[in-house]
Structure 1
């Protein structure tokens, strides 16, 4: 007999403005009264390497505190296994949108004959498999770009720089200046291989907002290039969201979008021809 389980994925998202996050756990409320949870408590070097500007100690302390809170909610829910209304209230309160470093993705529902096994499967899919196999897409794209720029543009010096002023600024991993004056080109990888269509749109909207704000604070390069990864899922809604957001990015002044799978020769040509205005 199947049990219906509501679940949500715990995300570590220290910089909301970039939309980047790492999945770290699962919480699950089942119709048979079980409130299950599992959080990755080992130090994950790939998390701290990916968010390399964040003090690892901050990550570990915050994760420990949030894991304790999840455990407390689970214990309270399981102590009231006969009161599904109370349990659902606890579940909704726990996964409600927040502005903290740890937050939950959109909830989902799954039928299961073995909720504990299903929890493990979801955990491996969203935390271990997702994390280990994707190897942080933007970090991978950044490595490829670094190699390409060094090999193909020996006459240019690209550096990681913070563009803008004291009130507002945005960091780009690759910035090229001519005679140390106005930045001629800034390049940044963006992965839209996210869990749902809304996350794709939200991440794109944040970058459009950031670039518009950057322009007002005098930090807009003459040519900004986002090297983008599309969703790998065949889901039509995610594909539609990706097309919509990349079209909006491309229509923003001084911004171009190049798919990350573009062949090296074509990528070199596109990056070499900085935007003319």
Structure 2
């Protein structure tokens, strides 16, 4: 009978602006604790467009160099483990120790999530599945879901002849700025913001990550007196009996705690009232 692998894994995160807490998932690192296995998968540096779209002010060369250094370092570590302890009884002990040392590093723009554990017959296959789930989907679905809501809001505004008042624009200054889909300006200054937020996911962690990112953006703008008083966040959340409901409610309360108005996207009358005020 094939012995199963008990593996620890961590999500590798790119966090270029420590002060905002924003990050993007860029890879997976995995090590078995009962059999020899140490592996990783990192996003190709040529995919810098995804990252620079996510972080408005980021220089693509910063990301490219970060990924190159990360990949080279993990390759070096893996080669050392394979060379020094090939098929020996302490391979997993060495791999586990190195894995834990890597994850403990909190001093760079590359960070690691708290380790998680899984049991599998094929760690390499599981690594690939985790990469597709946390890295590829992170860029494929999160912006897409918000954009679907933005399209709906745009149609509502157009039907009521309010769309010309709101334009996609950056809010902030050289210290910190954020791009929003709907900004109304007066005399060049932002007067109102509408930011739709998709908070429906079967995984509470995904909701907290996505919602928390936007909460942090609001906090930073507010702390710098760059956020207008009139901000509306129409959102879609999970059903009340879903496991992820509490995660959504937590994010909503944090945003409301900033004196930002939050409504469900179904409340079209309030959205129009806000836009027309």
Q: TM-score range by the shorter chain?
A: 0.7 to 0.9
- Structure 2: gaps spanning 5 or more residues: none
Contact kept? 1:17, 1:207, Cα under 8 Å: no
- SS of match in other structure, 2:50: helix
State yes or no: 1:256 paired with 2:261. Answer: yes
For 1:120-131, what aligned pairs fall within 5 Å after superposition? 120-131=128-139
Residue 251 to residue 230, structure 1, CA distance change in 2 (3 Å): same
- Indicate conservation of the 8 Å contact 1:50/1:136, yes or no: no
CA contact (8 A) 1:187 1:225 kept: yes
1:40 is the counterpart of 2:40: no
Cα deviation per residue 1:169-214 (whole Å; 9 max; x = unaligned)? 6554432134x27643112244546896567557656755664564
Alignment of 1:214-253 (within 5 A): 214-215=221-222, 217-230=224-237, 236=243, 238-253=244-259
* Residue aligning to 1:188: 195
User: What runs of 5+ residues in structure 1 fail to find an aligned partner?
Assistant: none
> Post-superposition shift, 1:50?
3.5
Superposed CA RMSD in Å reads: 3.8
Where 2:62 maps in the other structure, the secondary structure is helix
Aligned to 1:274: 274
Aligned with residue 127 of structure 2, among 119, 131, 140: 119
Q: How many residues align?
A: 267
Q: Secondary structure at the match of 1:273?
A: helix
Q: Residues 102 and 188 from structure 1, CA distance in 2 versus in 1: closer, same or farther, beyond 3 angstroms?
A: farther
TM-score scaled to structure 2, two decimals? 0.75
Structure 1 stretch displaced more, 114-123 or 150-159:
150-159
TM-score for both structures, normalised by structure 1: 0.75
